[in-house]
Structure 1
Amino acid sequence: MTACMPIRAAKRFQTYQDRLANGQEPVAKAEMLRDWLRRNGEKFHSVLEWDLKTSAKVVYEFSRDGDVVLGGTSDPARQTEIMWQQLADASAPVGVGRYREDRICYQSEQFKNDGEARSQHLGIDLFAPAYTSVFAPLDGVVHSFADNNLHLDYGPTIILQHEPADGILFYTLYGHLSRDSLDGLYKGKEFAAGDLLCRFGDFPINGDWIPHLHFQIIIDMLGREGDYFGAAKPSEWDIWTSICPDPNLILQMPENVVATREGV
């Protein structure tokens, strides 16, 4: 999740900044994609074995320290124990980390450039035990994959490419996976909606986090493969929300899983 961007991608990002400054949607096709996702939401397969539209959940807040501390210098084994007990007490199979949340765990130097932390979350996190199965939500092919094996990085990661209709092209990212999730993959490998795609990883393989899936929608890969920005500078949020729309457009959870602009 490094901040480097190829020259061509940097020029495209500048175009997005210019469009925003002119009062336009930063990514020209973003609204078209959001509209398509809204209209087709009922067709998407759940990414987990539980129906995320109906299953019980605990929605967490990581914009401040609570009972569960995510990342940083926290002990993932102890934090996992705390979360699993909370989920058991709530009879909830899944915990949720919110989209657009301004997280304190991203305030370290690892997530900073130009003095501002990339602290606002671009995906939705789904917390469940290590090796939980993950299913493709719609037809796609493997765009790229990698083991991003730095501390607090994604660990094993898969990115699918989707072209479900004329003029609709986007990507979905699956991060913090088990290492064997990458076995047998190749660029262009096809997955149909509902196919087993991968499994949750465990710490430290998953980047040393509580076991979870980071799920993200991406319109422009900005020249990257097997990795992508998982959080954005708050000052650039209006651009990044255009590049990476709300993942709940696919996940279809009825709970409020999107933080406010201030991250709370």
Structure 2
Amino acid sequence: MPIDATKRFQSYLDRHASGQEAMPDAERLRQWIADHADDFGAVMECDLKTCPKIVYDFSSEGDVVIGNTSDPAHQTDIMWQQLANANAPVGIGRYREDRVCYQSDQFKTDGEARSQHLGIDLFAPAETPVFAPLDGVVHSFADNNLHLDYGPTIILEHNPEPGIRFYTLYGHLSRESLDGLHKGKAFKKGDLVCRFGNFPINGDWIPHLHFQIIFDMLGREGDFFGAAKPSEWDIWANICPNPNLMLQMPENVTASREGV
């Protein structure tokens, strides 16, 4: 992180250690999002508020496995059959879930894995369109093309009114989603922003969108932490609140503190 962002993050750690909410503006930003819940547009063509869905548990090994050494083609076939059997257009990966697939050295810092999920995953076929939930501009974008990374990624900046600024991240996209982008490119609510990518371009995952809200980019561009150390969860949850504040799914799409 840049020096100023490092200092800012340290201030969040210090505030949390003193019993305060880590990020001073977090409560105000969360409240703004909650107050404007009815104003957000749909991210997908299906209505996430009402459509059937399967909420998956990736905190332990199950029928569908993501990441690690799993075969994304085989796991995709299994998931698509499960969704078809349930007449569900989308599968859900939960916020705050402590995931088995994030336990490898790739996700470890100082010996502790960044294993708790900071976004919500929406599983659907490659090329599924994604729409802007509110007006915004391109903050940054990149093809994070390491194995089990985000793949093509777009981050939008939202300034809906004076004093309110936050970001939304769209990860695991098609490579074509980055075509024609530039910093500052404007999107209106409901505009097509991108499309789901396929493996291996999307980081070699089952096709899905990783959707995340970010209150402080900490100096990063085109990429952001998608999972947090369990020991730092309260700090990161301040920076990246529950995306269901915007998606508004009625199902329980948030794991417990124990991850299950």
- The aligned residue for residue 128 of structure 1 is 124
TM-superposition CA deviations, 1:168-205 (whole Å, max 9, x none): 10000000000000000000000000000000000000
SS in 2 for 1:80: helix
1:58 to 42, 54, 68: 54
Q: TM-score, normalised by structure 1?
A: 0.98
- The aligned residue for residue 85 of structure 2 is 89
TM-superposition CA deviations, 1:66-111 (whole Å, max 9, x none): 1000110000000000000000000000000000000010000000
SS in 2 for 1:16: helix
- The aligned residue for residue 190 of structure 1 is 186
Report the alpha carbon displacement of residue 140 of structure 1 after superposing the two structures with TM. 0.2
- The aligned residue for residue 111 of structure 2 is 115
Q: Tell me the distance in 2 between the aligned counterparts of 1:69 and 1:230.
A: 18
Q: Tell me the distance in 1 between the aligned counterparts of 2:114 and 2:7.
A: 20
Q: Tell me the distance in 1 between the aligned counterparts of 2:142 and 2:203.
A: 13
Counterpart amino acid of 1:68?
V
- The aligned residue for residue 167 of structure 1 is 163
SS in 2 for 1:263: coil
Q: Tell me the distance in 2 between the aligned counterparts of 1:56 and 1:64.
A: 23
Runs of 5+ unmatched residues, structure 2: none
- The aligned residue for residue 209 of structure 2 is 213
Counterpart amino acid of 2:186?
E
Q: Tell me the distance in 1 between the aligned counterparts of 2:243 and 2:231.
A: 21
Q: Tell me the distance in 1 between the aligned counterparts of 2:3 and 2:183.
A: 24
SS in 2 for 1:17: helix
Q: Tell me the distance in 1 between the aligned counterparts of 2:202 and 2:226.
A: 14
Q: Does 1:262 align with 2:255?
A: no
Q: Tell me the distance in 1 between the aligned counterparts of 2:248 and 2:161.
A: 20
2:225 to 229, 233, 236: 229
Which has the higher mean CA deviation after the structures are superposed, 70-79 or 160-169?
160-169
Runs of 5+ unmatched residues, structure 1: none
SS in 2 for 1:18: helix
Q: Does 1:24 align with 2:6?
A: no
1:238 to 234, 238, 248: 234
Report the alpha carbon displacement of residue 9 of structure 1 after superposing the two structures with TM. 1.5
Q: Tell me the distance in 2 between the aligned counterparts of 1:33 and 1:255.
A: 23
- The aligned residue for residue 144 of structure 2 is 148
Number of residue pairs aligned between Structure 1 and Structure 2: 260
Identity %: 77
Q: Tell me the distance in 2 between the aligned counterparts of 1:61 and 1:232.
A: 17
Q: Tell me the distance in 1 between the aligned counterparts of 2:246 and 2:29.
A: 11
Q: Tell me the distance in 2 between the aligned counterparts of 1:6 and 1:89.
A: 48
- The aligned residue for residue 203 of structure 1 is 199
Report the alpha carbon displacement of residue 7 of structure 1 after superposing the two structures with TM. 2.4
Give me the CA root mean square deviation.
0.6
TM-superposition CA deviations, 1:129-184 (whole Å, max 9, x none): 00000000000000000000000000000000001122110000000000000000
- The aligned residue for residue 69 of structure 1 is 65
